[in-house]
Structure 1
């Protein structure tokens, strides 16, 4: 089976390797961010708010540090707003009903607002307009929603006629467009809320279980799957109504090894992958494939 190696993208500066990585992401502009704490939180019980450091590394390698006060959650979600602020969120609402689930910080690291977006967050990604896209897993099957940075619901998949939208397995946000591949039917879905005549386009798809998707023109790639297909990289082409499957191979780390435990972020034609110890991002770019 053909193997495709990730290309090294960005890494956490070595000076910060002594801190614990709470989470990490790559934003819509290709900048990588690490949310760091002095020590790992306890594996069980309530987690008190902590002061955390965001280390941001842009595509040119420039480093920026932002201190955030009172970050909640053991394994939060993180993304950057276009104005330089940050969004931090916990997946579950059970312990954060009073304090709210989503925290918004300004460019100086001060919390400016908080709100809830619904239990069971699986994906949280900010778009170029500063809207927050949230995909949920099956313990709260509300689908996919787009929120303002002040907590106003601006788009919802309710009534969008997305077949089998029970668990948002894959979510890709680039520009102001989102792509999704949800369980149970795994269609490929394009969402453009700013196109009122046709905000949602759906293609049927036989590639099941992918946890990331990349799109470039009429080409699409799905990463991940069930069981032994966890490292699968499946290519396809878009017809008028369906995804036509093409090549199937494996996606590896730059050295050719399997990623193991990983974080994944989809952004347009790119799939970013970060393996333990979560200090470096690699990238697969569909636009670079012949």
Structure 2
């Protein structure tokens, strides 16, 4: 079985390694961001608002620091808005409708608005137009939804026929297009909300349990799976109605080691992978 090594992509500067990494992501333009706090949140009880630091490493290596005031999310999701602000969302809402679940910050780190997108956030990805794509896991039946940066619901999978959507395992947002691979049937779903005649296309898929998907032209790659398929990298080709499998391999860290505990972010043809202690990103690029 062929093994593919991730290519080193972005690293948290060592000067910030003394802080706790709350979460990290790679935005739609390729910049990597880390949300840092002085210490890890204490388990249980309400979270007291705290100041946090976003360290951004841009594709050409420039480093940018943004102080965020009064962050309230215990287990946050993070992404950057096109104009330079940030979105921080609590992945778990103590109440299903929690007006402070999503905090929007301007480029100076000041909170400008708050709203709710619902409990059980698996993925939070911002597209090039500034829309927030939210994929939920199985404790929230909302599935996949797109929101404006001011909290207006702009698209929802509830309004289309998508059988078996119990959990949004994989979500890829690039440009203004989203690709998803939801549990239980794991179809590859292409979502183009700005195309009113056909906003969604569903392709049958035999790859089960992938947590990230990359798409380039007529090619697709799925990363992850159940049990022994945890590090699987499964390739396929797109037809009008299905994904036809072509080859299966493994995805490893740049040094060849298995990733272990990791997280992945998918953007277009790229799958970014970050392994514990979550201070560095590697990338697999299907277009390469």
Q: Are 1:259 and 2:259 an aligned pair?
A: yes
Secondary structure of the residue aligned to 1:244 is strand
Contact 2:35 2:54 in 1 (8 A): yes
Tell me the CA shift for residue 95 of structure 1. 5.6
Secondary structure of the residue aligned to 1:60 is coil
Q: Are 1:74 and 2:45 an aligned pair?
A: no
Contact 1:93 1:100 in 2 (8 A): no
Partner Cα distance (1:225, 1:209) in 2: 4
Moved over 4 A (4+): 95-99
CA gap of 1:164–1:69, structure 2 versus 1, over 3 A, is same
Partner Cα distance (1:33, 1:95) in 2: 28
Tell me the CA shift for residue 263 of structure 1. 1.4
Structure 1 partner of 2:273: 273
1:104-143 residue pairs with structure 2 within 5 A? 104-143=104-143
Partner Cα distance (2:39, 2:12) in 1: 17
Structure 1 partner of 2:175: 175
Secondary structure of the residue aligned to 2:159 is coil
Partner Cα distance (2:184, 2:237) in 1: 21
Structure 2 partner of 1:147: 147
Count of aligned pairs: 288
Contact 1:163 1:187 in 2 (8 A): no
Structure 1 partner of 2:218: 218
Secondary structure of the residue aligned to 1:228 is helix
Q: Are 1:199 and 2:205 an aligned pair?
A: no
Structure 1 partner of 2:235: 235
Q: Are 1:9 and 2:13 an aligned pair?
A: no
Tell me the CA shift for residue 246 of structure 1. 1.0
Listed as ranges, the gaps of 5+ residues in structure 1 are none
Summarize deviations over 1:202-221 as a string: whole Å, max 9, x none: 10000000000000001000
Contact 1:79 1:126 in 2 (8 A): yes
Tell me the CA shift for residue 75 of structure 1. 2.0
Summarize deviations over 1:70-103 as a string: whole Å, max 9, x none: 1112220000000100000001111685552100
Give the TM-score of the pair, scaled to structure 1. Answer: 0.97
Summarize deviations over 1:140-192 as a string: whole Å, max 9, x none: 11110000000000111113111211110000000000000000010000000
Partner Cα distance (1:59, 1:28) in 2: 11
Partner Cα distance (2:200, 2:231) in 1: 29
Give the TM-score of the pair, scaled to structure 2. Answer: 0.98
Listed as ranges, the gaps of 5+ residues in structure 2 are none
Secondary structure of the residue aligned to 1:158 is helix
Partner Cα distance (2:273, 2:135) in 1: 19
Partner Cα distance (1:163, 1:270) in 2: 27
Partner Cα distance (1:44, 1:143) in 2: 27
Partner Cα distance (2:39, 2:158) in 1: 40
